[in-house]
Amino acid sequence: MTDPSDTEATAGTDVPAPGFEGTFALCLTHDVDRPYKTYQSLFYALSERRPAHLESLLPRVNPYWQFEEIMAIEEHLGVRSAFYFLDGEYLLSRPPREWLSPFYWLEWLGGYDPTAPAIARIVRALDDGGWEVGLHGSYGTHRDPERLAAEKRKLEAILSHDLQGGRQHYLRLSDPPAETWGQHRDLGLSYDASLGSSTEYGFRHGYDLLAPFEDEFRVFPLTLMEVALENAPGVGDIDPEGSSAREGSDSEDREEGDESENRTGSRRGINVEAAWRECERLLEEAAANEAVMTVLWHPRYFSTEDFPGYRELYRRLIERALSMDAWVGPPGDLYRTIDHDRDSEHGGRSDVAGTTGSETGESR
């Protein structure tokens, strides 16, 4: 996470704004970090004294594989989102001095290859169904454009078309972040969605997209990551397993092993109504300021057994936004509404992509 005072990005008063119709825009994103529950099964079985976690090691038992469930929710609500896929480095591709690092072992054990048949099939299914597929740059690629370019080419080969944008793993950005964004722009990406926090939420970087180079490249600030809700008053006080709630920490370069799922654990209970009050407050603030609000829900958080409450919150977030006549969709669709040939005006929005409440029949 990068401190907002160091972003060197502006809201771009002299650059075009998105041309969406609606009271505000809600951009839906999912970082595909862990589609398989692997080492977590043993860790949680031991730490929580719940042998049931070991069932995840059986064939065809994988609570972290939630693609079809997410697609069904969004299909029912008439919306689409963006899925950012990771191509993590193999352990032996790291420098030898890092081979004994627990952090890189966990990255490798919990990782996946996007060209593996099951992953490639879901990537194509999402793309064919109208979802956006984007790049989730691996751990060190915020400063490694060659590696990032290779990961981008691999995903594009699966899709047979170019990617629009994505988000860096662990929200990692260079200092200043313009270095990372410049690499994204040079690779042909139109936007990045890495500017944000896993422990804090809100419109910390303003209500609009950022234009760090005052050209066509855009930054979508992250308004809310689901795990940050645990730090809200009264939200993380409920734990079905009886352990105490723990808070995480952010830094510009995360410490090795600072894993969001280690912080939240498994069977982490949350006070859904307290969390919902925070979500609704953000939606109301977005509507009052005609904002672009970007949210991140990791697919594994849709597992109702491992992360109870988060699937319900996500559904309610979309339903409420649609009832407020918001534009709802993936960042790539919103980006395409920008008319780069005209001067920036916050009003007069047209040429809708995505979905608004009026289109789905939702009442305001």
pLDDT tens-digit readout, 157-188: 999 999 999 999 999 999 999 999 999 999 99
Q: Taking the mean position of all CA atoms in its chain, how far away is CA 296?
A: 3
Domain architecture of the chain: domains with CATH = 4-360 (3.20.20.370)
Lowest-confidence region among 46-55, 281-290, 355-364: 46-55
| pLDDT at residue 357 tops 80 | no
One-letter identity of residue 299: P
pLDDT for 55 equals 54
Strand stretches in 224-358, DSSP E: 224-225, 292-296, 327-329, 355-356
Give the lowest-confidence range in 38-47, 58-67, 202-211, 288-297: 38-47
Do strands 165-168 and 82-86 pair parallel, antiparallel, or not at all (unpaired)?
unpaired
The mean of the pLDDT values for the chain is 82
pLDDT of residue 348: 38
Task: Give the per-residue pLDDT at 355.
Answer: 79
* Whether pLDDT at 129 is above 50: yes
Per-residue confidence (pLDDT) for residue 47, from 0 to 100: 52
Q: What is the mean pLDDT of residues 146-152?
A: 96
Where does 66-220 have alpha helices with state H? 67-77, 102-109, 117-128, 145-159, 178-186
Contact 327, 354 (CB under 8 A): yes
Give residue 282's pLDDT.
98
H helix intervals, 171-269: 178-186, 260-264
User: What is the Cα 321 distance to its own chain's centre?
Assistant: 18
pLDDT of residue 96: 83
- Tell me: the pLDDT tens digits for 70-127? 999 999 999 999 999 999 776 667 788 877 887 666 666 668 999 999 999 999 999 9
Residue-level pLDDT at 244: 30
From residue 195, how far is each of 167, 172, 191, 270 by CA, in Å?
Answer: 9, 8, 11, 25
The mean per-residue pLDDT over the stretch 214-236 comes to 94
Report, as an integer, the average pLDDT of 197-205.
97
- From residue 339, give the alpha-carbon distance in Å to each of 15, 83, 99, 247, 348: 10, 25, 48, 42, 12
Measured distance CA(235)–CA(316) in Å, rounded: 16
Q: Token pair of 230, please?
A: 């645990």
Contact 336, 33 (CB under 8 A): no
Distance of CA 62 to the CA centre of its chain: 21
> For the ranges 54-63, 115-124, 193-202, which has the lowest average pLDDT?
54-63
Q: Residue 33 pLDDT > 90, yes or no?
A: yes
pLDDT given at position 92: 66
Q: How confident is the model at residue 52 (pLDDT cuts 50, 70, 90)?
A: low
Dihedral sign for Cα atoms in the order 155, 181, 202, 327: negative
Per-residue pLDDT, averaged over 226-233, amounts to 94
Q: How confident is the model at residue 56 (pLDDT cuts 50, 70, 90)?
A: low
Length of the chain: 364
What's the whole-number mean pLDDT along residues 232-252? 50
Helices (H), 101-191: 102-109, 117-128, 145-159, 178-186
The Cα-based distances of 335 to 175, 193, 197, 254, 338 in angstroms read 25, 12, 22, 29, 6
pLDDT digits (tens, 9 = 90+) for 293-303: 999 999 999 99
